Structure 1
Amino acid sequence: MADLHFELVTPDRLVMSDDVYMVVVPGTEGESGIMAGHAPYMTTLKNGDVSVYRTQNGQPERIAVTGGFAEVSDRGLTVLAESAEA
């Protein structure tokens, strides 16, 4: 399967921009796992961890985020967070 292009952005900086296998975001209505080819989607975020899986069987890299939203489009997944800490 093709990689998912993922960007995590805060008002201060670009935290991550990379092609990854999957990202799990902490939506206000539950966690969502996003992979390449996901249908267009948007959700607001609750405070929690974004889990970035660089490979199919890899361990997740967790990035704590507060607030914001996530959008899936034909360009990939963009997370706009109020703050983010690895």
Structure 2
Amino acid sequence: MADLHLELVTPEKLVMSEDVYMVVVPGTEGQSGIMAGHAPFMTVLKDGDEVAVYRTAGSQPEKIPVSGGFAEMSANGLTILAEKAGA
């Protein structure tokens, strides 16, 4: 399966822009696992939770704390716009 392009952005900087296997997004309505080919999708991020980035199948996730913002899945990949991201 093709990789999913992820962009994690805050007002201050581009935190991450790369192709990954899967991302688990903490939405206000629950967590969503997003992989390449996922249907168009948008959610408000759950404040104070973590985005889990799986770089390859079966790998341990890299967890990135996020506050505020939203995530959108489109034909271009997954874009997460957060007020704050990282430690």
5 Å-filtered alignment, 1:42-53, equals 42-47=42-47, 48-53=49-54
Partner AA of 2:3 in structure 1: D
Query: Percentage identity across aligned positions?
Result: 73
Compute the displacement of 1:62 (Å).
0.4
After TM superposition, the score normalised by the length of structure 1 is 0.98
Instruction: Name the Cα RMSD after superposition.
Output: 0.6
In 2, the alpha carbon distance for the partners of 1:45 and 1:53 equals 18
Unaligned ranges ≥5, structure 2: none
Match of 2:60 in 1: 59
* Aligned pairs, number: 86
Match of 1:11 in 2: 11
Unaligned ranges ≥5, structure 1: none
